[in-house]
Structure 1
Amino acid sequence: MNLAGRTAGRSTSTATASAPAETRADGRAGLVGSAAAASLDASFRDDRSAPPATMVIFGASGDLTRRKLIPAVLNLARHKRLTQQFAVVGVARSQLDDDQFAAAAFGDADTRSMPSLHGGIRYVSGGYDDPATYARLAELLVDLDTSRGVAGNRLFYLATPPQAFPKIINGLAGAGLNRPTGDSFARVVIEKPYGHHETSARALDACVHRAFDESQVFRIDHYLGKNTVQNVMALRFANAIFQPIWNRSWVDHVQITVAETLGVGSRGSFYEHAGAMRDIVQNHVLQVLALALMEPPASFSAEAIRNEKVKLLQAIRLPGDRDIDDLAVRGQYTRGGTRFELMPGYREEPGVDPLSRTETYAAMRLDVDNWRWAGVPFYVRTGKRLPSRVTEVVLQFQRPPHLPISAAQVREMDPDALILRIQPDEGITLRFGAKVPGHSFRVRSASMEFSYGDTFREESPEAYERLLLDALIGDPTLFIRSDEVQQCWRIVDPIIDRWSQDDRPIPTYEAASWGPMDADRLIGRSGRVWRNGN
């Protein structure tokens, strides 16, 4: 039963008949009352475009700039989300001139056909700890204010290794580039990882806040830019049918999975200092969990949403030292694979210590001590070299309190579940029991499917494209606030510390398997099982 096809086939009049409408000043219909206010919120307008600005990319010769940032800028330019009063300035140690940087970064893209980029690409070479670098940058930015008409607006993007963050922040402050003048803005976008643990995150925050006000700081997690992550909020708060069952009375447990088929590849040296807990759980997993479990915000304003996320994170129970071994599992992939591909083990990857004890897999049980979720276990896991690439949230519902039919008639039925697929097959599945056709009465699991690709014809922007535009506009909704970062570290730090003191051999799992057996035991203690793509 395919909901996508049915949804796509509905007429416009049917879809809008249930809500009263009014004519707005722009001639388009809008919802009456609070829905009208939400529809006018800047973060939900589809005609948004960036103001005049200069985007300064530190780490301009790096991999993130080449793979994500420049393509995002190009897409914004192609879709006319950038004005002609726009410029891109790259900053890095590589000795390049403006034309060489443009050729290296933008490649074959024809920027001559994009007024927002043509003639507006510049480059500054220098060390991040050298005041002369920032003096040259300041001089160039003043020139662009005149030649490009960018009105003194600056967005500084830190696409560098984290150890360079304080140097750049201090360099910008030393040159006075952290202070906007008049009605202009100066904002800084900081990539993850934001700190190595809570103590270092607080130290980085202190450095950042000496130069920038919190309102100027945009801590980016690209997962929050995915349409399907934002759809978690749409599903919960735009549909009356789901909110009444989104609580402990109906939900048996929740699973959040972020599974990757790839290994660490060329990131071995970085991963040795991060591991799965720091790389994925501390940010991506906990951000998705917060959106899925938080209380309904009073509005869709940035601070209302972020306030509720922080409250949820604060309600997560911290395990005692003696409980961690029962509530958290780690693992490391070894050589393995399929009949078509043999994959190396983690310790065989470039840049990895042959005796490494770094986890490439992490799973936890979390408990939330609030009225809505008390007593409901939350199981989260992430891993590399797993059989499928999938990110999803699964709400498994309670069994019926009484079945008037025999167990034999329902042995093919799994518990009801709502599955939110974030990637790669973006959509929603509702699993329920249905009678099998035939003379006998047997019930088997069936599902209704919603697919983003089948339902919507609109082109979905890439995560970095959406987040860059938000930062240029000044919308912080999908960025992480300082207290969110600290709460996430508060949750994972005790587990990381326990693992660092554990001198037992790290559990292993073969590449292309679903992780160590300890993970199955973790969820199996309560009679539950992981959803492994079934």
Structure 2
Amino acid sequence: MSSATDSIKSQATIFFIFGGTGDLTSRKLVPALYNLFVDGWMPDHFSIVAMGRTGFTDDQFREVLLKDINQFSRSGKPDQGKWEAFAKHVHFQVSDINDSKTYEEQSQRIATFKKEAGIDPNVIYYLAVAPRFFSTIAENISKHKLAVDATKSRIVIEKPFGHDLDSARKLNQLLGSVFSEQQIYRIDHYLGKETVQNILAFRFANSIFEPLWNRNYIDHVQISVTEQLGMGSRGGYYDDAGALRDMIQNHILQLLCLVAMEPPVSFEADKVRNCKVDVLHSMRKFNPEDIKKNAVRGQYSKGWIEGKEVVGYREEQGVNPQSNTETFAAIKFFVDNWRWHGVPFYLRTGKRMHQSSSVITIQFKDVPHMIFPSEAIEGWQQNRLIISIQPEMSVRLQVQAKRPGLDMTLNPVDMIFDYNGTYTGDTPEAYETLLLDTMLGDQTLFMRGDQVEAAWDLLMPILNAWAGKKSLSFPNYSADSWGPETAEALIAQDGFHWFTLPLKNAKK
């Protein structure tokens, strides 16, 4: 048994999930907690208390959760004995976040749980609610002295972490008035994905790559996160956010930080996060001329996806028919430090794209002198390291090799680390990793307040410029395409092209 397992087993924990009847709880949180329980990663003493206005009894709520786990758990329909053993730890509290009685009952539950467990428990407040409710909940937690012990009480909040730099600062100030930074877990599910975590392992556990990981050997970096899906029921939210806020400010900039960061002196949470913040502070700020040259926006029109006709963005439910919101964004960034000076980082994301995938491509510089004749190198391409996050989980190193035969003919081949081919068994969901880290008190994969603000500060000039000038070209790309032509021009002007990885098992 590992030391981490020993640690989690011995620490009693009580979860309060605000928004206990919401979609996030049913699809992600409870299935993740159940899988942790089945795999032996839950404390010996734990309690899960879902908070909501619906008048459920404990048994009624457990029946609802069983249906959710049947549908959404990676382990499938649960074993009856294991489900019953888990379900007895799950409770429902009818609550109103504006009512003091809600927090008084929480205090009573904590006292009762402490008596039963025989030790002071960790108390985790998970805010699976809209950001507009954060202040009410945080202020009431403070008012009722439910987070006095900074070593035991934690709060977990979901993105978005603010709508802009000003609101992010206000949110950080609000949370900081109740909790210390060590208690605040800003959760970004992307950072819990196995392949994302493997970026750190791949970079810093292998000596062969570090000498090459700089401007002397790397030509450029691409990070693409594309989706076939449209708005669904999120049109109202998305129309107030857009691709920059929804994806680049958090998910994609986090991936960039993992690729570009310096080696931390240790794997301690703040040592790692310090290095990530340093990357954001090193990134070149945008002036109006830079935005024209280095940032592209797009909005999709109607088209066909896998044989089905789909509407354009402005026809989606909840979207303004004259919307100026971007559903696609491509930006060229520079990290102005010694390691990366002059190396462009191209970031791209969009809705209703040809393929759903998340791929990081590091393209190395070409060989300094070509010794092979032209007829031997018809298929020549520069070496690439390709990290596929989803739907495939793999790391590919593309190199040149001689094709079998009597003549000297070179072609690219892939050296592949494939999760599915290397490991057996199910891969934990991102929320399982992040919830376990929350219980263990490990903030390595969570965003710190200064990191959130630095990301907003970097993007505010683009957000302000796009909000202040209506695009006359929208919509400018069709569904099932790779985005607007201007995005191709953005990277082509530097002599590159967007890389797409053929995926055998691509899915929405």
Q: TM above 0.5, one fold? A: yes
1:405 aligned residue: 372
**Contact kept in structure 2, 1:85 and 1:150, CA below 8 Å:** no
The aligned residue for residue 61 of structure 1 is 21
Shift of 1:120: 2.4
Q: Could you tell me which residue of structure 2 aligns to residue 472 of structure 1?
A: 439
Aligned position for 2:62: 102
Q: Contact 1:198–1:489 (CA<8 Å) still a contact in 2? A: yes
| CA–CA distance in structure 2, aligned partners of residues 191 and 338 of structure 1 | 30
1:347 corresponds to 2:314: yes
2:452 & 2:315 partners in 1: Cα distance? Answer: 33
Please, which moves more after superposition, 462-471 or 334-343?
A: 334-343
What secondary structure is seen at the aligned counterpart in 1 of 2:174?
Answer: helix
Tell me how far apart the structure 1 counterparts of residues 263 and 324 of structure 2 sit (CA, whole Å). 41
**2:480 is equivalent to residue 512 of structure 1:** yes
Alpha-carbon distance, 1:267 to partner: 0.9
* 2: CA distance, partners of 1:469 / 1:238: 23
Alignment of 1:283-302 (within 5 A): 283-302=250-269
1:256/1:516 CA distance change after superposition, 3 Å: same
Say if 1:158 and 1:188, in contact at 8 Å, map to a contact too. Answer: yes
> CA 1:339–1:92 in structure 2 vs 1: closer, same or farther (change >3 Å)?
closer
The equivalent of 1:135 in structure 2 is 104
SS at 1:239 equivalent: coil
2:400 aligned residue: 433
Give, as a single letter, the amino acid of the residue that structure 1 aligns with 2:139: N
Question: Aligned to 2:255, what secondary structure does the other structure show?
Answer: helix
- How far is the alpha carbon of 1:471 from its aligned partner? 0.3
Shift of 1:136: 2.4
Q: 1:269 aligns with which of 236, 254, 259?
A: 236
The change in CA–CA distance for 1:231 and 1:152 in structure 2 (over 3 A counts) is: closer
How do residues 29-48 of structure 1 correspond to structure 2 at under 5 angstroms? Answer: 45=4
- AA aligned to 1:105 is L
* Partner Cα distance (1:264, 1:454) in 2: 34
Give the conservation status (yes or no) of the 8 Å contact 1:64–1:159: yes
1:158 alignment counterpart: 127
Q: Work out whether residues 98 and 122 of structure 1, in 8 Å CA contact, stay in contact via their aligned partners in 2.
A: yes
> 2:34 aligned to 52, 55, 74, which one?
74
What is the aligned partner in structure 2 of residue 533 from structure 1? 501
Shift of 1:370: 0.4
Contact 2:327/2:350 (8 A) holds in 1: yes
Distance across 1 between alignment mates of 2:101 and 2:501: 54
1:337 CA drift (Å): 1.9
The one-letter code sitting in structure 2 at the alignment partner of 1:160 is: V
Using the TM superposition, name which of 297-306 and 503-512 deviates more.
Answer: 503-512
What is the rounded CA distance, in whole Å, between the counterparts of 2:31 and 2:87 in structure 1?
15
Secondary structure of the 1:530 match is: coil
Deviates further, 126-135 or 458-467:
126-135
Q: Deviations over 1:114-137 (max 9, x none)?
A: 576343222222322222322222
Change (3 A) 1:201 1:116: farther
User: What aligned pairs does 1:418-457 form with structure 2 within 5 A after superposition?
Assistant: 418-457=385-424
2:323 to 356, 362, 369: 356
- Cα deviation per residue 1:11-58 (whole Å; 9 max; x = unaligned)? xxxxxxxxxxxxxxx8xxxxxxxxxxxxx9x6xx57663521100000
Distance 1:239 1:156 in 2: 38
Q: Distance in 2 between matches of 1:70 and 1:217?
A: 21
Rate the CA distance shift 1:48–1:444 in 2: closer, same or farther, 3 A.
farther
Corresponding residue for residue 49 of structure 1: 8
Question: In the alignment, is residue 499 of structure 1 matched against residue 466 of structure 2?
Answer: yes
CA offset at residue 332 of structure 1?
A: 1.1
Whether the 8 Å contact between 1:429 and 1:447 is mirrored in structure 2 is yes
The residue identity in structure 1 corresponding to 2:53 is R
Q: What residue is the counterpart of 1:32 in the other structure?
A: none
SS at match of 1:428: strand
Deviating more after overlay: 214-223 vs 105-114: 105-114
TM-score (norm 2): 0.92
CA distance in 2, matches of 1:203, 1:49: 34
Q: Please say if residues 120 and 148 of structure 1, whose CA atoms lie closer than 8 Å, have aligned partners that are also in contact.
A: no
State the AA in 1 paired with 2:483.
G
TM-superposition CA deviations, 1:51-87 (whole Å, max 9, x none): 2110000011111011000100110111121133110
Asked if the contact 1:219/1:481 (under 8 Å) is kept, the reply is yes
State the partner residue of 2:74.
none
- Determine if contact 1:91/1:124 at 8 Å carries over to the other structure: yes
Which ranges in structure 2 are unaligned for 5 or more consecutive residues?
A: 71-77, 503-508
Per the alignment, residue 75 of structure 2 pairs with none
Q: 1:489 to 1:423 in 2, by over 3 A?
A: same
Residue 186 of structure 2 is matched in structure 1 by: 219
The TM-score, its normalising length taken from structure 1, stands at 0.88
Q: Is the 8 A contact 1:366 1:378 kept in 2?
A: yes
Change (3 A) 1:338 1:467: closer
- Which residue of structure 2 aligns with residue 86 of structure 1? 46
Q: Which moved more, 1:157-166 or 1:454-463?
A: 454-463
Whichever residue aligns with residue 68 of structure 1, its letter is: K
Distance 1:260 1:336, change over 3 A: same
SS of the counterpart of 2:63? helix
How many residue pairs end up in the alignment?
Answer: 491
| CA separation of 1:326 and 1:233: change in aligned 2, threshold 3 A | same
SS in 1 for 2:257: helix
Name the amino acid aligned to 2:113.
Answer: L
Larger deviation, residues 502-511 vs 427-436: 502-511
8 Å contact kept, 1:76–1:465: yes
Higher mean alpha-carbon deviation, 333-342 vs 515-524, is at: 333-342
Q: In structure 2, what is the equivalent of residue 189 of structure 1?
A: 156
2:137 to 151, 162, 168: 168
3-state DSSP of counterpart to 2:288: coil
Structure 2 CA distance for partners of 1:111 and 1:80, relative to 1, 3 Å = farther
Q: Which moved more, 1:456-465 or 1:327-336?
A: 456-465
